[in-house]
Structure 1
């Protein structure tokens, strides 16, 4: 699940990427030395900021009385990754199971800090995942985590606002979106079709859908290029939207101002991950019944191509003490009896067994005007474009993007293309400093 908070720089707090075996190996156990076999009592520690995971614990412990599960929130995203790196380096306090955003999996997998889940026969679970999610946890042909939630990009739109602007159907193409933006803007000074103050995840999702693949990773070799056709098309389109004052660049996502604009309808759409279904009702309760969900607008009429915006997985550190017990719980809450409790609690999972189910496809959502939201998001998940990659040091990369982009959004100096080129320059320098071959 993607986080809204600003992430601090990692370069000063994380150990160098390629300080491999000295701090990441050893310490792990199989069933023979304290995993979950033999009926001995085992306690596993799970680090998670996803509250739905804890919902699966009672059922798991009832079915596995010899395994006790402690779920700990060790911080979100960067805070947790820093704590994990510190524990690995110290050789103590390493948890048995850890939550990772998809882009963080390579950071820990490549230096050997994660367990290859192939030893648990995870290939048998592959068919229950949409291909894009499975790809997100696969590094150099090996699976290092299991997907637990997913964020297919979708367009959340305020139907009442679009109706008021004379837009009777949600924009099906980005050309239609552009025309709708002008109509919404004509409603008044406060009205915009969307906001953006430098959200790298939105921009990358736009590039992803357009066919751009700016990051190419092959082992420790990384190539970064923001000049391919798909990237150029997406960036040029969004630049046009910004240049024509069709996007609100004053309201920051997840702020009180953002909540107010969603509540009063002055922000007509929000293109984000499907996980927004769980938080939008809390942030915009006054807009209940007005919002709907649609697929992302397409670049060509009649196409159906999507992208992703966020999502999380769980992996087992190489230094974990109780690997077998950890995997047993991991399988339980991502595929077994604990899955339904998490879905009921609001988790949006990439399991085809859930997405294709009659209940998920047909259930209506009162907040979204009794729309069958599940069927829209299930389709959005199935059409995510293949071949997308993040560089192994993306956690650091995203932390600096906001600082690079901020002058443009506050003063108008520069352009998106220039921001991306500076971002690339900084990423190349940092990646090479960490022992990668980046160009």
Structure 2
């Protein structure tokens, strides 16, 4: 009997902590709204846990997170939102700032998420964050413009097919409607999507070598050059891309699935005119999946209510209910089983009654892993310049351009170029 009493006493604190207290969550913009949308159903399970979602703005969350970790965990929330491509900055600089979620049970959830989502959230055998939303890449397209140009999206299986379709678009509209807009000189997002599709990235998955000049990346950069050479794409920054699709100057937009909300909210008058198809492959029968963007939730070690914080993570991220509730608020699920939810299988009116989420989430298991490392931004800045210079003709070949990029990234990060 004494042993049972002692055991109960040992278990009571963690049980009580998981069912009471206040959990403060830092996030931003629509992400904060998505998290807030899960609170009512969470409180049905845990009525005595108050969840306070604070929208600090993206950059402010990142800056205050770095400052808090540098100060030993001072002024950090119970749940911290973090973008995947920035996550490894924290693990590298402040390995003791966040809880290893394996100690709270995350190791039992590993197979519930695609492997690529864990790559940047794990370091030294520890899982410092749980996958939240993802950015499976697809091609969003204007049904009416494609139809007028005589283009059937079902026949666009490769980038060669996409270029051929672009020539039809140019013929129909006299060059006034291009197939898509690329942020050349502003970002390298198209390069990252195509490289990821081809199983290549700035660094290897171990984060020990620069691999940006490997064949898959060379193919990616060469494809972008061919799109420009064929005159089927326009150039524009984030705002320019939105302006183009709103004005009907571009017939497609390739992004992570979170861009669905960007199109729908910026062009409500185009409801029913849009559809979705898989990104073209680099070769016949090749992969048609990649990821762009996505984030995760972590628990700072300084949290006084870790058990309750983890209960919120489990509900929001590891249940179909939590993930689909956020999907309705512009948060794209990472949880694999969410793809089988009834809502995911519904036709979406804005998208011409297409079951777009079945198409989009169906690619999650096919996305190759990619590692940004703590040097993601350094590599990205190099590639933005190198890509733009290659398009201008500064380099003779994509391989020459990426060999130069590899040297510059190596110089900036101290990592060797892969032999």
Matched-pair contact (CA < 8 Å) for 2:246–2:266? yes
Task: Summarize the Cα distance change of 1:341–1:359 in structure 2 as closer, same or farther, 3 Å threshold.
Answer: closer
Name the SS of the counterpart of 1:60 in structure 2.
helix
Unpaired runs of at least 5, structure 2: 1-9
For 1:160, the equivalent position in structure 2 comes to 144
Structure 2 Cα separation of the partners of residues 194 and 213 of structure 1: 23
Structure 2 Cα separation of the partners of residues 402 and 33 of structure 1: 54
Give the C-alpha shift of residue 401 in structure 1: 5.0
Structure 1 Cα separation of the partners of residues 386 and 190 of structure 2: 16
Structure 2 Cα separation of the partners of residues 156 and 425 of structure 1: 35
Give the C-alpha shift of residue 217 in structure 1: 4.8
Matched-pair contact (CA < 8 Å) for 1:289–1:368? yes
Structure 2 Cα separation of the partners of residues 308 and 67 of structure 1: 34
Unpaired runs of at least 5, structure 1: 1-30
Task: Summarize the Cα distance change of 1:278–1:197 in structure 2 as closer, same or farther, 3 Å threshold.
Answer: closer
For 2:214, the equivalent position in structure 1 comes to 228
Deviation per CA, 1:379-410: give whole Å up to 9, x if none: 2223212x32212221454356546666777x
Structure with bigger helix share is: 2
Matched-pair contact (CA < 8 Å) for 1:216–1:391? no
Structure 2 Cα separation of the partners of residues 401 and 135 of structure 1: 22
Number of residues of Structure 1 aligned to a counterpart in Structure 2: 395
For 2:81, the equivalent position in structure 1 comes to 99
Which of the numbers 316, 331, 335 marks the counterpart of 1:351? 335
Structure 1 Cα separation of the partners of residues 342 and 316 of structure 2: 21
For 1:266, the equivalent position in structure 2 comes to 249
Task: Summarize the Cα distance change of 1:359–1:41 in structure 2 as closer, same or farther, 3 Å threshold.
Answer: closer
Name the SS of the counterpart of 1:286 in structure 2.
helix
Structure 2 Cα separation of the partners of residues 318 and 403 of structure 1: 39
For 1:20, the equivalent position in structure 2 comes to none
Give the C-alpha shift of residue 189 in structure 1: 3.4
Structure 2 Cα separation of the partners of residues 131 and 40 of structure 1: 31
Task: Summarize the Cα distance change of 1:382–1:120 in structure 2 as closer, same or farther, 3 Å threshold.
Answer: same
Task: Summarize the Cα distance change of 1:318–1:426 in structure 2 as closer, same or farther, 3 Å threshold.
Answer: farther
For 1:17, the equivalent position in structure 2 comes to none
Please give the residue correspondences for 1:25-424 in structure 2 after superposition, counting only pairs within 5 Å. Answer: 37=16, 42-49=21-28, 50=31, 51-76=33-58, 78-91=59-72, 92-111=74-93, 112=95, 113-170=97-154, 171-186=156-171, 187-198=173-184, 199-218=187-206, 222-249=208-235, 251-253=236-238, 255=239, 257-336=240-319, 338-361=322-345, 363-385=346-368, 387-398=369-380, 402=384, 412=392, 414-415=394-395, 420=402, 423-424=405-406
TM-score (norm: length of structure 1): 0.81
Q: Which moved more, 1:135-144 or 1:183-192?
A: 135-144
Matched-pair contact (CA < 8 Å) for 1:42–1:67? yes
Matched-pair contact (CA < 8 Å) for 2:202–2:379? no
Matched-pair contact (CA < 8 Å) for 1:174–1:299? yes
Matched-pair contact (CA < 8 Å) for 2:204–2:371? yes
Give the C-alpha shift of residue 118 in structure 1: 0.7
Task: Summarize the Cα distance change of 1:430–1:81 in structure 2 as closer, same or farther, 3 Å threshold.
Answer: farther
Task: Summarize the Cα distance change of 1:243–1:300 in structure 2 as closer, same or farther, 3 Å threshold.
Answer: closer
TM-score (norm: length of structure 2): 0.84
Task: Summarize the Cα distance change of 1:169–1:43 in structure 2 as closer, same or farther, 3 Å threshold.
Answer: closer
Structure 1 Cα separation of the partners of residues 112 and 367 of structure 2: 16
Structure 2 Cα separation of the partners of residues 331 and 414 of structure 1: 50
